[in-house]
Amino acid sequence: MKVHLRVFVEIENLGKAMNALSDAGISGFYILEYKGMSPQDWKGFVIKEDPKSTIGLIRDYAKDAVLVCSVVDEERVDKIVESVQKALEGEKYTILEVPIRRIIVSYGDVNKKNTDEKVEPWIIEEQGPCFKCGENAVQKIVIDKDKAQICCNKCGESRSYKLSTEKLEDE
């Protein structure tokens, strides 16, 4: 079975987490940036029940954090988790193991596809907090052959990421 392994870390520990994952044999992962608060940070806060107050509170008090995700074989999970725990000893982190029942990947009609021809980018619009302004707004994500760009429809700020692929050998 495959497992969706998720490691939540504060932004300053991202390098440690990614190095530990790489050392344990992970060669592909993706990250999501967010602002978060652990229960002990949240304890004692009383906020109004309107979204603007809540978002403002989180923006002011939450820490920048990252979710590092990868899909791995279940047999490899314990070794990977041990590597992350050792690298992040004394730091705050959360590790989640989510079993995957099925993975479906479509490459379209491979016979028709010419690798030299232009491939249409994927365009995804997702509601969520902006990495810059923190407002809950539509985030436009454009994924092309070798790059990805995320743009906030509220403030217009965008970030670009270079993507690379690597053929993995069967183990």
Domain 1-101 grouped into CATH 3.30.70.120: yes
Strand partners, 34: 65
- Read off the pLDDT of residues 110-167 as tens digits, 9 standing for 90 and up: 665 555 556 778 888 888 888 888 888 888 888 887 888 888 888 888 888 887 766 6
Neighbours of 6 (CB within 10 A): 16
Q: Lowest mean pLDDT of 28-37, 86-95, 162-171, name the range.
A: 162-171
* Sheet strand arrangement including 93-100: 30-36, 63-73, 2-10, 93-100
Is the full-model pTM beyond 0.95?
no
- Whether residue 169 is predicted with pLDDT greater than 70 in this model: the reply is no
Whole-number Å distance between alpha carbons of 43 and 74: 35
91-115 average pLDDT score: 80
Q: What's the chain's average pLDDT?
A: 83
Euclidean distance between CA atoms 42 and 66, whole angstroms: 18
For residue 97, what are the β-bridge partners? 5
Q: 163 or 72: which carries more pLDDT confidence?
A: 72
User: Taking 60 as the threshold, does the pLDDT of residue 4 lie above it?
Assistant: yes
Domain boundaries, the chain: 1-101, 119-164
Check pLDDT > 90 for residue 20: yes
Report the pLDDT value the prediction gives residue 108, as an integer from 0 to 100: 80
Helix (H) or strand (E) holding 22: helix 14-23
SS (H, E, C) 26-90: CCCCEEEEEEECCHHHHCCCCCCCCHHHHHHHHHHHCEEEEEEEEEEEHHHHHHHHHHHHHHCCC
Average pLDDT of the residues in 42-57: 74
Q: What is the pLDDT of residue 69?
A: 92
